[in-house]
Structure formats: structure tokens, C-alpha cells
Structure 1
């Protein structure tokens, strides 16, 4: 949807919802937030994943500025909720009240309530993104509220363009995504002032100590959610072909992949399910040789950053922000095919190359680790977020 048509749609919605929002604002003034906060963070939920991990990192950077977290989406597993709690930042989970289409007027009401609480603060800071409730809140905030959006995926761009008048800074976790938005703005002939609000901040990870691993069989792992975009069935097909070839390769899957494939059909693969134990997850990272992803689209998955830091080879489809970090035949392999059968064949071919040439595996992995050490520093991450949030 184009900028102007999206603005018209939102203007109509704004008029229709106003009675409920006004009621919510009155309620919020009477029943005030019991704790005092400067920063208001809007995240979907405590589900496991790369984007939630970044949200936890941002929260940790902001702990000294009295933040509060609002969850608004029904969780699928909530496996990261405990990590959010460990930050010590209070959480208000609204999903039972507002994530229900049958009672959508309640969502309108809570927009007013939360807006009232934020507007009661002098110069509040509001951060969110890739969660609809954040976008729905910001039109009701006072002008002095400083609104920052965090963007990981291009899937939101057609929707979020309608709110850019209300957003002071748009942060992108990949340079490729920032360029996509610049192109979108050019197509919509937007004023240059909107371009100045766009910035890129590299995500961050801990760099572990390096450990040499010598496996009898090449250990290939998928780590991620069992969502349609991940196309886990393609990785299962790659595993099946290599099994039929009797190649010395073991495939492992970490995540709720049983949602999208029948795990009983692959007895020669290892399935961990969702891993809550950090020590076990670190062990899986350490003992693997290759991370494989066949996603239809991605931002930059945090698991790619983490496996790079462990010095592992990445095999991935050449989508979105991934080729900004994985350089074909330098620190991994990029699958360029679009046809799914060809994707499977490329994956098989690249894994066979690593089986046949163990030295290539070591060279590619070492280069990945060097790139990770150069780019994924926590100190830079926190400093840059402090700057866009105007805390330094």
C-alpha cells in the first residue's frame, strides 16, 4: 500500500475508534500506572526467536532508565519470557485483553489507557516495532513523546509507512532493509526529512572462546522456529538425499519443527525440540560444523551471528540481509536458486563439498569468526541505541 492511501485508511480508522480511545484515556487518568517510568517498550511477547533476543538486549541496555515492557500478542511458546523477567524490568502482558478480533473495541480502549499513562510522563521515550500495538499507540501520544521503531523484516514496510509521521527514528538491524525503505520512500516521493530519520544499528552477541571440534560425521544443524518462512521441509529433503547417498553427515533440528514436518519420517536425524537450557544450546553450537537455513525471507537471524562467532560454516538462501554477512565461498555458501528442488540440490552439493574437503570447513569457519568479532560488539550496540533514544 502506498503512503497516501495508507494515511487515508488510518484516518478513517482513527475517527471510528475515537469514542473508545477517549474512554480509555479517561480511565487511564483515573486509574494511573502504579509505578513511574521514563521508557515504554512495546514487544510482541516472550516467544523464543532472534528478534525477541534483540528486544532483550535492548531492554538490558535501558535498565537504568526505568523502562516498562508491554506485551500485546498471544504467545506461541513464551520460552523467552523468563529471560525478559531476568532483566528486572516490569512487564504488563495485555494479550488476553487486546489480542481478540471479536472484541476489538477493547483494543481501542487500551490504546487510550496506555497513551494516557505515557502522556502523563514528561518527555517520554517509546520504543517498539514489528508489533501492531506499538503503531496503534503512537498516534495518540503527545508531541514531546520520542518514538523509535526497530525493524528486522521487510514484511512490515507496506503497513508501517502509514505511521512514519509519528516516528522520530527508524532503526534497521540490516543495511539491506534500510536501503529497501529508502527505495520505498523514493517511490512514494516523500520529503527528504523522512530519509534523515532512518538509521542502521548492528545487532550484538557475546563472542565465545574458540573450541576446535573434530567430528567423525559432519554435524549440520538447523536452529529456529517452525514457521512457514523457514521452509524446514527443504532441510529435511536435503537430509534425506544425503542419507540415501550414505554421506557421513548428521542433521539436527533445534526448535518446534514438528509443526511443519513429520519428524517420525526422519529417524536418521536428531530432533531437540525447543531448547530452554542455555548450557545445552551452547553445547549444540560448539559441537556443530554447519548451520543451514533455507528461509524464504529473513532479516539477519541472530543464530547466524552466533554460529559465525563460534566459527561455524553457514549455508543459507541468499535472501534479504544475509548476503551482507555471509559471503559466498569466503565464510559460507549462499544458495542462489529460487526453485525449491534446486535449493535442495544446491544444499546437498555444498554439504558434500565440506565432507570432501575438511580444510575448507576450517577456513570458512575461521573467516566467519573474524567477521563476528569485528562487527557484533555489545558496547557499540548499547551506545548507538542510547544515542537514538537521546540518552547520550
Structure 2
């Protein structure tokens, strides 16, 4: 879709929904919020995953703005709900009302209600963290209210180009996705002034003291969703190949992988399901030696940062933002093959290399840990996001 086509589609949609939006604005006046908020944060859900975890970190960073979080999508597991239990942060979960395609008119009415709530606050900031409802709201808020977007993936680039002139800051957590946006701007002939609104902020993880493992069997860990992009069956195939070869490795899986593989076929692996207990997850990170990912596309999953922060080896497909952080056989291992059968072969070969080159493995682990200290600092993350919000806020 071209920029011009996106704008035309956007204007047509605004005309169609206008009566219901105005009804919502009237209802918002009749039922205002009980308190003012310095920021309105639009998040899809509190499901397990990297993006929701970053969203919770951002909310905690700006809790003194009394932000209001609005959840809009039906959760799959709500596994990170406790991360959003933050003093000073209020939550309105609207998914039961607005995430119903058969009652879509309610979704539209709430755009007007929320726009009125935002207008009733003094110098608020509107922020969207990988949430489609954020883009549905911003056409209906006053133009002097700043809108800030956080983007981890390129999934919605065709749709979000509509809002290039309306979004005041576009924040990216991976340099590769940011480069893709800049390339889109160049193809569409976007004016140079809008490039100044593009910003990069690294995610952060807590960095614990190094704790060396002495496992006689190499402990391989997968943490993530059972989504198609993650290609978990490839990891299961690598595990099976290593098992058949009687190599000293053990594979553990965290996440809803039973949706994509028949776990009963892998009795030599451990399946934890969704792990919501933070301490249990940290223990699994510590006990493991290597994280494995075979994703078809990826930003920078937080689990990569978590494992690097513990001095572990990351073995990943060489996709998207991953090579911006991992250099092969320097601070991690990269699978360069594209064909799935060859990914299995190369993944197994690299694990074999890791087993039989313990000194090189130790060097990779130390390099990963040192990289984390330089790039994934909580202090840098919090300072960057506070600068973004407080540039506009009345609290500055």
C-alpha cells in the first residue's frame, strides 16, 4: 500500500465512524474519569512475552505521572498481569467490551469515550506499545496532544504509515526494524522533517552477578510462544537429532509449545508450559547453558538479553535484529541457513561444536556478559523513557 492510498483509506474510515465516535465523546462527558492522568498507555494485554514485559517496565518508569493503562485485546494467558500491579498506575481492561467483532460498534464508541477522557486531563501524553487500538484512538484526540509509538516489529508498517504526521515520536527497540522504517520513508518520499521523530531505545534487563554452571550435560533452553514465527518444530527436530546421536545435551521448553508439537513424542525433553513465577524462570535461566531460537523473524527477544545477562550462549537464526547484537563465535552463535532442513543440520552441528570446544564456549559466555553490561542497562533505559514522556508532560 502506498502512502497516498493509506491516507485515503484513513480519511474514509474517519468519516464512516464519526457518528459513533461523537456519541462516545458525549458519553465520556457524562461519565468522566475520577482522577487526572499524565499519560495514557495503550497495551494489547498482559500476556507472557517480551513486548508486555517492556510495557510494564515503561509503566513503572513513569509511575509518578499517574498513568492509566488501557488493555484492549482478549488475553491468551495474562501471565504477566502481576508485572502491572504498580503503585500509582491505574488499569482499565476493555477487552470484553471492544474485542468483539460482532459488537464492533462498541469498539468505535469507546474511541470517543477515551478521546474525551484524554482531553479532560492536563497536558497528557498518549503512548502505544504494540497495540492496534492506539492507532484507532489517535485520529480522535486533539492535535496538540502528543502521541508516542513503541515498535518492536515491522508488522503494521503498511497501516501505521497513515499516522506519520500525527505520531510525535516513533521509538524502536531494534535497529533493524528502525532501518526498515527509514527505507519505507525513502520509498514513499516522506519529508526529511519526519525522520527526526524516529528514535532508538534499547530494552533492559536486570543483570545479576555471574554464576558459573558445571553441568556435565549441556542444558539447552527454549523460552517463547508456540507461534508459527518461532518454528518450535525445528528445535524439537534438533533435540531429536542430538538424542539419536547420544550427545550429552538436554532440551527444556518454556511456553505453550504443545500447540505446535506433540510433546509426548519427546520424552527425552522437559516441558514446563507457561512459567509465570518470576523466580522459577530466573532459576531456569541460571541452570541452563544455552538458549536456542530458530525464529523466521525476530526483533530482539528479551529472553536473549536475559540469557546474555547471565553469561549464557545464545544460538539463534541470523534474522532481523539478532545480528545487531550477536556476532558469530564471538558473543553467541548464528544459524545462517535458510532452508528448514538445513537449519536443523546446522543447529545440531553448532551445538556439537559447543560441546567439544569448552574453552571457546567460556570465551563466548564472558563476551555475552560484558556486552550486556555495556548495552542493556536499566539506568539508560529509564532515563531515555523519562526524557520522552517528560518532554511533553506538565510534571516536567
TM range (shorter): over 0.9
> Is it true that 1:334 corresponds to 2:334 in the alignment?
yes
Please list every run of at least 4 consecutive aligned residues from structure 1 whose deviation after the TM superposition is greater than 6 angstroms.
none
Q: Residues 1-392 of structure 1: matches in 2 within 5 Å?
A: 1-389=1-389, 390=391
Contact residue 36 and residue 120 of structure 2 kept, 8 A: no
Contact residue 232 and residue 261 of structure 2 kept, 8 A: yes
**Structure 2 counterpart SS, 1:221:** strand
| Aligned mates of 1:162, 1:296 — CA distance in 2 | 27
Give the structure-1-normalised TM-score: 0.98
Tell me how far 1:209 sits from its aligned partner.
1.1
Contact residue 218 and residue 289 of structure 2 kept, 8 A: yes
Give the structure-2-normalised TM-score: 0.97
Moved more, 80-89 or 283-292: 80-89
Contact residue 24 and residue 109 of structure 2 kept, 8 A: yes
Moved more, 107-116 or 118-127: 118-127
| Aligned mates of 1:159, 1:81 — CA distance in 2 | 28
Tell me how far 1:86 sits from its aligned partner.
3.8
Tell me how far 1:88 sits from its aligned partner.
4.6
**Structure 2 counterpart SS, 1:155:** coil
Tell me how far 1:357 sits from its aligned partner.
1.2
Tell me how far 1:338 sits from its aligned partner.
1.1
**Structure 2 counterpart SS, 1:53:** helix
Contact residue 41 and residue 127 of structure 1 kept, 8 A: yes
**Structure 2 counterpart SS, 1:196:** helix
**Structure 1 counterpart SS, 2:156:** helix
| Aligned mates of 2:98, 2:329 — CA distance in 1 | 48
Any idea what the Cα deviations from partners look like across 1:245-298, whole Å, max 9, x if unmatched? 010000000111111111000000011111122221111111101000001111
Query: Structure 1: any 5+ residue segments left out of the alignment?
Result: none
| Aligned mates of 2:166, 2:95 — CA distance in 1 | 24
Contact residue 20 and residue 105 of structure 1 kept, 8 A: yes
Moved more, 378-387 or 340-349: 378-387
| Aligned mates of 1:69, 1:221 — CA distance in 2 | 33
Contact residue 174 and residue 299 of structure 2 kept, 8 A: yes
| Aligned mates of 2:183, 2:256 — CA distance in 1 | 36
Quote the RMSD (CA, aligned, Å).
1.0
Tell me how far 1:130 sits from its aligned partner.
1.9
Tell me how far 1:129 sits from its aligned partner.
3.4
| Aligned mates of 2:317, 2:260 — CA distance in 1 | 19
| Aligned mates of 2:123, 2:216 — CA distance in 1 | 59
Question: How many pairs does the alignment contain?
Answer: 392
Any idea what the Cα deviations from partners look like across 1:292-340, whole Å, max 9, x if unmatched? 0001111110000010000000000111111111111101111111110
Q: Identify if the C-alpha distance between structure 1 residues 349 and 41 changes in structure 2 by more than 3 Å, giving closer, same or farther.
A: same
Contact residue 59 and residue 87 of structure 1 kept, 8 A: no
Query: Structure 2: any 5+ residue segments left out of the alignment?
Result: none
